[in-house]
Structure formats: C-alpha cells, structure tokens
Amino acid sequence: MKLLGANMDHAKRFNRRVVLETIRLQAPLSRAEITRATGLAPQTISNIIAELSEAGLVRSVNRRSGARGQPAVELDINPDGGFTFGVSFSHGVLLVILTDVAGGVRDRVEIDLPSLAPDAVLDRIARTVAEMLTRQNVARSRVWGVGLVIPAIFQDDHLVALGETALPGWKDLPLRQSLQNKLELPVLIENDATAAAIGERLYGAGKSLTDFAYIYVGAGIGGGLFLRGQPYRGGYGKSGEIGHLVTDTGGRPCTCGNRGCLERYASVSLALKALDESHEDVIRHDDLDRIAAALASADPRLLTWLDEAAASLRQAIVMIENMLDPQAVVLGGVLPQPVLTALIARILPLPRSVSSNNEDTPRIIAAEMGPDTPALGAATLPVFDGMSPELSLLFKQDVVERI
C-alpha cells in the first residue's frame, strides 16, 4: 500500500486542470475571475492561461465592457483544441461519434454489426475511425483518445461477467490494449452507466453536481456514481451494480441468484418484451422509437411496464439516497426523452429519505444526453481524463500531458 507524496510538478499539472475545469464549467470567464475562483495569484493565472492558449486549449472570445476598469478578456475552451471518439457497441449495433473537447458532435456513424467476433468488431471500429478522420480532415495527432463503452463490467482491462454470461469470445480479452494497438490512439474503456455519468457531469444534468448517482436504464439497469467530483468505481472497479438492488424481497428470480432485483422490473429489454413477446435481447434505434410510439398511443402494455419500473426505481432511489445522500439522482440511459419524463412522473412522489429536506436540488433529475448516451459518454472519457483535476493526479505517474 503506497501513499505517494506531492511535488511541484504534480501541483503544476493539477493547477492547469483546475483552471481548465473552471473555464469549462463557467465559461466565458476572465483571468481575474479565474483568480478569484481558484484562489491562485493573478500572476499564476496569467502564466497558466498563456500556456493553455499556446497549447490551443483555451481561446479569447471578446472583451467585456460596461463596467469600470480595464475590460476583462473573456476566455473559453477552444473547441478545436482536441478531438475524441466515442464508441459504443451493444447488442449488435456499433455507434461511433467524433466530438471536439468542447463537447460538440462533429460526426456520427451507426453500423449494424451482427457478427459478434471481437476481432471483426475491433477492426471495424478502427476502419470507421480512420474514415471519419479523413472525412473531417482531423489529424490523428490531434485526437486525445477513444472512449469505448460496452454494457459489461470491467476489471483492469478485462471484461468480467456478473449474472448473465458475457458475449462469447469477449470474456478475458485484453480489450483496451487490443483496440489501442489497432488504432494507435489511447483507448479508455468504461461501462455504460459510468460513462454516461461522466458525460452528464461534463456537459449535461450533472454540470453543477459533485455528488450524484446515475441510474442507467438500458438493456439492463446500471449505475454510475460520481462522488466528490470524481467517478467512483469501488474498491475493485465494479461499483454501481444497482440493477441488483433488491426492490421486491422474494420477487422475480434474477440471473444473479437473488430474487426481486431492480433489473427484473425496470429494464428496456422488459419494456420491449412487454410490447412483443418474441423480442430478442437486442436494442436498435427503431426499438426505442416503438417504445416512444407506444407511450404516445398510451399502449396499456407499456403503461404496465412503466408502473412496475417506476415502483421498483422508487424503492431503489430511496435506498441510494439513504446510503449515499447524493445531491441528486440522475435518471437516464437509452430511453427517449418523453418516456423518461413519463417514467419520472410515475416515480414521484418519492417516500421519505435523508434527501427529503434538500432544497437546493430536486431529488430526481432527467439525464440530458438521450439515446446516443453510451457513445456520447464514451467520447467524454478522454476529455475527462485529460482535463479533470482529479486530486490523485498529484501523484499519478502515467499522465499524458496536453499542455
């Protein structure tokens, strides 16, 4: 158990990120305002901004006027400062998105990939990334990295299964390393819920939250935790399996061996099965459209699912609140916005918990990213990795410098 010390170099890296993060969250912002927000000296901020501008990460937008004194120069994140790819592969559908570091989507490619052989998928990802770079005229050197999201649990580089068996051939494959070799770009890998939580934190509903739980409603139910401004992955990297919170003691049997798990009541797969008993465990874009249509037409099969899902989620949310006392619970995943809204409406009102008296934030917040969430969340992984002032950065050894 090593507890590493800090030196000036670490503090420097950390401060660069503090400044970037401050600008990202509050842009446009002047040097003087950053000074006040960070507690660093004006001179220090001036130096740091000079570096960040030099590196192309920050740009001046305009001069503020109207007030006394020398007009402040407003700064914000330069969208051309870097690019990232977000890749999601889930149940036969591959989605690749190219975004800039300011969160703008530059390109988007969706491919049906019935073949599940890992090598074929990874090759296809590599090919698609190369094509998109050419089409958008972005040099590979300007790409910070590639985020990959797969609905599974990872430990180190490897996929491990809980409950349902993993896709054949994928288990125990050094996924990150393999893709990194093919792409010649840094690859970050994450489960869907945590990636979505990071995405919401960077650009969505979590922008002003430091402590929240994200509930990801997808084929199953996943959870992503953001605690003290950082994703929390647990002691062994497998936190957030809130799909297996028991919301109905002795209820429906679950593949995990218990009974009454949240996932047995609230998943999108179950919604699709409710609409069409023969539905296989695949979620395509038009499946989501069908759910939205069913809601629009008040299809009783969907409404039943909504009620069941809401009841289970209500229980789970109260337990999450009592355990973690988050600022809010963000509910998201692949559901279309109207369905998500209807679901939340049915979850409310929530029973009493430690969060009952919080007046600053609503207890449930709808995620903002929508059905492309997995890939969008994936795309934020390299941004988060390169920008966020993670405290432990102070003694991280293998940090890629962007500045």
Interface residue list for DNA (CB under 7 A)? 5-9, 11-12, 15, 30-33, 39-44, 46-50, 63, 65-73
Q: Which amino acid is at 290?
A: R
List the single partner that 25 binds among a second copy, DNA, none, CB under 5 to 8 Å by kind: a second copy
Specify the residue, 156 or 280, whose C-beta has the smaller distance to a second copy.
156
List the single partner that 181 binds among DNA, a second copy, none, CB under 5 to 8 Å by kind: none
List the single partner that 22 binds among a second copy, DNA, none, CB under 5 to 8 Å by kind: a second copy
Shortest distance in whole angstroms from residue 363 CB to a second copy: 11
Specify the residue, 34 or 266, whose C-beta has the smaller distance to DNA.
34
Tell whether the torsion through CA atoms of 216, 220, 225 and 230 is positive or negative: negative
List the single partner that 9 binds among a second copy, DNA, none, CB under 5 to 8 Å by kind: DNA
Question: H or E segment at 365?
Answer: strand 364-366
Specify the residue, 38 or 337, whose C-beta has the smaller distance to a second copy.
38
Q: Are 268 and 291 in contact, with CB atoms under 8 Å apart?
A: yes
Shortest distance in whole angstroms from residue 90 CB to a second copy: 20
List the single partner that 135 binds among a second copy, DNA, none, CB under 5 to 8 Å by kind: none
List the single partner that 68 binds among DNA, a second copy, none, CB under 5 to 8 Å by kind: DNA
Specify the residue, 50 or 296, whose C-beta has the smaller distance to DNA.
50
Specify the residue, 25 or 120, whose C-beta has the smaller distance to a second copy.
25
Q: Give dist(CA 136, CA 99) in Å, integer.
A: 11
Shortest distance in whole angstroms from residue 176 CB to a second copy: 19
Length of the chain: 403
Residue with token string 């890992």: 118
Shortest distance in whole angstroms from residue 55 CB to DNA: 14
The SS3 call for residue 73 is: strand
Shortest distance in whole angstroms from residue 392 CB to DNA: 16
Closest CA to 148 of 166, 122, 117: 122
List the single partner that 66 binds among DNA, a second copy, none, CB under 5 to 8 Å by kind: DNA
Biggest CA–CA distance in the chain, Å, is: 70
Specify the residue, 163 or 370, whose C-beta has the smaller distance to a second copy.
163
Strand partners, 73: 63
Angle at 172 between CA 167 and CA 173, to 5 degrees: 85
Question: H or E segment at 155?
Answer: strand 153-155
Structure tokens at 320: 């999450």
DSSP class per residue in 331-358: EEESS-HHHHHHHHHHHPSP---GGGG-
Specify the residue, 104 or 234, whose C-beta has the smaller distance to a second copy.
234
Shortest distance in whole angstroms from residue 60 CB to a second copy: 21
Q: How far is CA 196 from CA 176, 199, 308, 315, 379, in A?
A: 19, 5, 24, 22, 10
Q: Give dist(CA 77, CA 92) in Å, integer.
A: 36
List the single partner that 3 binds among DNA, a second copy, none, CB under 5 to 8 Å by kind: a second copy
Burial 366-394 (b: 16+ CB within 10 A, else e): bbbbbbbbbbbbbbbbbbbbbbbbbeebb
Shortest distance in whole angstroms from residue 239 CB to a second copy: 4
Specify the residue, 223 or 382, whose C-beta has the smaller distance to a second copy.
223
Shortest distance in whole angstroms from residue 61 CB to DNA: 11
